[in-house]
Amino acid sequence: MELNHLVGALSGLTAALVWTVASFLFRRLGHVWSPNALNLLKGLIAFGLIALILSAEGWVLPGRAPALALAVSGIVGIALGDNLFFGALNRIHVQRTLIIAQNGAPLFTVVLAWLFLGEQLSWTAYTALLIVLSGITLSILADGFERLKHDRTYRLGLLMAFSAALLQAVGAVLTRHAFSLADVGVFMATEIRLGAALVFLLLFQLFPNRGKRMVYRTGERKWLLLLTASVIGALGGLTFQQAAFKYTFASIAQTLIASSSLMGMLFMLLRGSRPKPLTWVGVGLALAGIMLLFSVI
């Protein structure tokens, strides 16, 4: 399949924007549902909506090999990765979770794509990736790490965010591999990934564990918030994410999706937060890297 890097890049940035908005909404639901239950519910909503879309445009199933790659990608990236991401949201909040999870994912993706997919980028592209990731790292350093010494919950949140980044990278590489095997439709790919993830999450939900609370009786506003976040994040975010992986290299797609951490800081600014000077340096550096990346694709 011929790549269209511009379409892939724009899809990656759009995925970053919608996932940033959804993260703030999901953060407000963390005290109502556990990470596994929240992941399961948003997946069921997105799966049902995409099923309606596929019913209208037609179900075109891929071959066994790409379907298997997409299914494993869904279990790793959505079921396990999103569970850890939601767990991090509950412990270290939206901005830091986005920065760490989305900062680490491109690094892991570049290495895994080079090892297993043979992706080769120009030195300029690699430089752009490094600039983007350096900018996001500066944004992390701006707040310091004093809490690491005293706050066990904070340390667990950081570990969850980094683990989510690794699992997102594995999912990204598997998805890109599936698209290299066959020209799978974006909605079909998303549905296969969601379907496999939902089976895993349902089985996991059956095991007795007090931490996996499933709440059915809650206020209508919470259900409406869940529906909105699922449509924006699970349906919109995953669809644009698949488009990014389909039309450009996994390393480029994952890096552009990582710009959600920068968007998260801008959202915090709009809400009255005052980022430190080093944070602004990091934001400017990362945006410069993204523009450089656009210039070479």
Extents of the domains making up the chain? 5-295
pLDDT of residue 212: 56
pTM as predicted? 0.84
Give the 3-state secondary structure of the chain. Answer: CCCCHHHHHHHHHHHHHHHHHHHHHHHCCCCCCCHHHHHHHHHHHHHHHHHHHHHHHCCCCCCHHHHHHHHHHHHHHHHHHHHHHHHHHHHHHHHHHHHHHHHHHHHHHHHHHHHHCCCCCCHHHHHHHHHHHHHHHHHHHCCCCHHHHCCHHHHHHHHHHHHHHHHHHHHHHHHHHHHHHCCCCHHHHHHHHHHHHHHHHHHHHHCCCCCCCCCCCCCHHHHHHHHHHHHHHHHHHHHHHHHHHHHCCHHHHHHHHCCHHHHHHHHHHHCCCCCCHHHHHHHHHHHHHHHHHHHCC
pLDDT of residue 150: 74
pLDDT of residue 28: 87
pLDDT of residue 147: 63
pLDDT of residue 216: 56
In this structure, are residues 42 and 226 in contact, taking their beta carbons and an 8 Å threshold?
yes
Q: pLDDT in tens for each of the 297 residues of the chain?
A: 557 888 988 998 999 999 899 988 998 888 788 888 899 999 999 999 999 999 998 899 999 999 999 999 999 999 999 999 999 998 887 877 887 887 778 778 877 888 888 877 788 888 888 888 888 777 767 766 666 667 888 889 989 999 999 999 999 899 989 999 999 998 999 999 999 999 999 998 887 664 555 655 567 888 999 999 999 987 888 889 888 888 888 778 877 887 887 788 788 777 777 777 887 788 788 878 877 876 776
- Counted residue by residue, the chain has a size of 297
Cβ-based neighbour number of residue 196 at 10 Å: 21
Which amino acid appears at position 196 of this protein?
A
